[in-house]
């Protein structure tokens, strides 16, 4: 194997993300792609909170980008929303894996300056990662397809009869 597998790449996201959380002292952080899919996360304890945040953040990013284009800018700077107790930072960047976004939530134990500083460091670490190719795998497509029908049956049976 001369090229790294996707699991190695995603493991590779975890380490810099953890360093970012530690150094900038934020509470939650999630790395997502443009479609709002989660590549790595830190601090969320419920899967569904995580995907909700990810989908909304991807929505903000997409509309901010489209708005920028309409106004003749390629993109806007990072987004920062501040409430009395909690603040949200949304930083986007290009990587070998396409456009990605870091969404992070912090409180008075950190600051926007700190977050931005360590975000830049995080991005430069990720830039060194090899390109992500989701089409390569170690799973048999045949096995997967064979199991598909029974898994769908199981899921939908409960819903329709229940």
Partner 1 sequence: MSLVNYATREITCKIVYYGPGRSGKTTNLQYIHSRVPWDRKGEMVSLATEADRTLFFDFLPLELGQISGFTTRFQLYTVPGQVYYNATRKLVLQGADGVVFVADSQKSQLDADIESFRNLHENLLEHGIDIRQIPVIIQYNKRDLPNVFSIEQLEEELNFRNVPSHPASALLGEGVFDTLRSASEGVLKKLARKLEIPIGDGAGGAG
Q: How far apart are CA 3 and CA 96, in angstroms?
A: 14
Q: What are phi and psi of 92, to 5 degrees?
A: -115, 155
35 near partner 1, rule: CB under 8 A: yes
71 near partner 1, rule: CB under 8 A: no
Q: How far apart are CA 85 and CA 96, in angstroms?
A: 35
94 near partner 1, rule: CB under 8 A: no
Segment interacting with partner 1, rule: CB under 8 A, options 21-29, 62-70, 100-108, 118-126: 62-70
User: C-alpha distances in angstroms, 28 versus 60, 61, 106, 110, 162?
Assistant: 18, 18, 7, 12, 37
63 near partner 1, rule: CB under 8 A: yes
Instruction: Write out the residues near partner 1 by the rule CB under 8 A.
Output: 1-3, 5-7, 10-11, 14, 33-39, 47-49, 51-52, 55-56, 59, 62-63, 66, 133-145, 147-149, 151-152, 154-156, 158-160, 162
């Amino acid at each position: 194997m001369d090229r790294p597998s996707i699991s190695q790449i995603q493991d590779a996201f975890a380490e810099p993300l953890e360093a970012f959380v530690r150094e900038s002292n934020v509470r939650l952080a999630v790395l997502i792609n443009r479609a709002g899919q989660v590549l790595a996360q830190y601090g969320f304890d419920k899967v569904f909170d995580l995907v909700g945040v990810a989908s909304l953040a991807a929505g903000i990013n997409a509309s901010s980008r489209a708005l920028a284009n309409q106004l003749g800018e390629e993109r806007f700077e990072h987004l920062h929303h501040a409430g009395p107790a909690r603040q949200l930072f949304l930083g986007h960047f290009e990587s070998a894996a396409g456009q990605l976004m870091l969404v992070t939530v912090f409180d008075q134990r950190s600051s926007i300056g700190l977050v931005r500083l360590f975000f830049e460091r995080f991005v430069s670490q990720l830039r060194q990662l090899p390109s992500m190719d989701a089409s390569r795998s170690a799973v048999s497509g045949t096995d997967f397809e064979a199991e598909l029908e029974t898994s769908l049956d199981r899921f939908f049976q409960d819903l329709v009869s229940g």
